[in-house]
Structure 1
Amino acid sequence: MDEATIDHVITEDLIVLEEPPANKTDAIEYLLDIAVEAGRVTDREAALEAALERERQSTTGVGKGIGIPHAKTDAVTEPTVAFTRSTEGIDFDSMDDEPAKLLFLLLVPAEGGEAHLGILSSLSRALMHDAVREDLRTADSRAAVKDIIVDTLT
């Protein structure tokens, strides 16, 4: 994925470093509200339902302290990634039973299947590296988080 694409998919206004709510559903809503405030979501309720429906199908807690709730929905006009992190971690029903400390919400337009899979697989691969996860946990600004994500995905 090229830098211009990633640069547009995750902007600094889609990154929040304050502590999210401590349960999975509330954390997903928190991430969604970041995307709503950034002007990326046209229908909050439809986007929330799509994300929660995807979560009911199978967990998006991918292990290693990572949660990537995601959905394809007509409630967004362009691929969007929102990010936050949790100091204590949130139970995301991860395969390794570890709480999710790095949280990414991925929303793509309903017809954006290829973009969805590309972003999801690139993000998942990048986050398997210990150094990337540690850098995201310790980054001291939204700009630093964005730089880490852009660097690892390009």
Structure 2
Amino acid sequence: MLSGYLTGRTVRERLAAGDKEAAIREMAELLAASGKVADVAGLVRAALAREEQGTTGLGEEIAIPHAKTDAVTGPVVGFARSPEGIEWGALDGTKARLVFMIAVPEEAAGDEHLRILALLSRKLMSAGFRERLLGAADEAAVLRVLGEIE
């Protein structure tokens, strides 16, 4: 299901960022590799504005920053890992080691990002899935694990 939105170009084995804002910026640049980001700075602003409404750190070492913005021309999803973890304000106190970013255009926003979010959240409830994602040896292995998301 995510195959149209998440590709090898929008997956990074390891985030360089050490904090949430830098991570969001790095993820926005990663999404730009899809060709669907018209304005990287605009995407960063939209994602940070969304964080101000409440953290997207879901706990269980997961963060899913997201944005509805015309800075993107089509729905796109990115994924990266942070072995050290990034402080994301999760209620359970865990640092985010698995970071997904979802961006959808304003007018397409309707239910699309909620559907993607629900799909991801459901799969990420599985401890086994999270462990496979964290343990995947390289980008190809990460993509194989992500391919399990229906």
Q: TM-score, normalised by structure 2?
A: 0.94
2:15 counterpart (11, 14, 19): 19
CA contact (8 A) 1:81 1:105 kept: yes
- Are 1:104 and 2:112 an aligned pair? no
The structure carrying a bigger helix percent of its residues is 1
Q: Where does the alignment leave 5 or more consecutive residues of structure 2 unmatched?
A: none
Two-structure CA RMSD over aligned residues (Å): 1.1
- Are 1:48 and 2:37 an aligned pair? no
Name the CA distance, whole Å, in 1 between partners of 2:15 and 2:116.
Answer: 25
Post-superposition shift, 1:72?
A: 0.6
Name the CA distance, whole Å, in 1 between partners of 2:15 and 2:66.
Answer: 20
CA contact (8 A) 2:10 2:30 kept: yes
Q: Where does the alignment leave 5 or more consecutive residues of structure 1 unmatched?
A: none
Q: In percent, how many aligned pairs have the same letter?
A: 40
Name the CA distance, whole Å, in 2 between partners of 1:75 and 1:118.
Answer: 20
User: Which deviations, in whole Å up to 9, do the C-alpha atoms of 1:34-90 show, x marking residues without a partner?
Assistant: 111332200112111110000000000000000100011111111111111111100
Post-superposition shift, 1:143?
A: 2.5
Task: Name segments (4+ residues, structure 1) moved above 3 Å.
Answer: none
Q: TM-score, normalised by structure 1?
A: 0.92
1:69 counterpart (65, 68, 82): 65
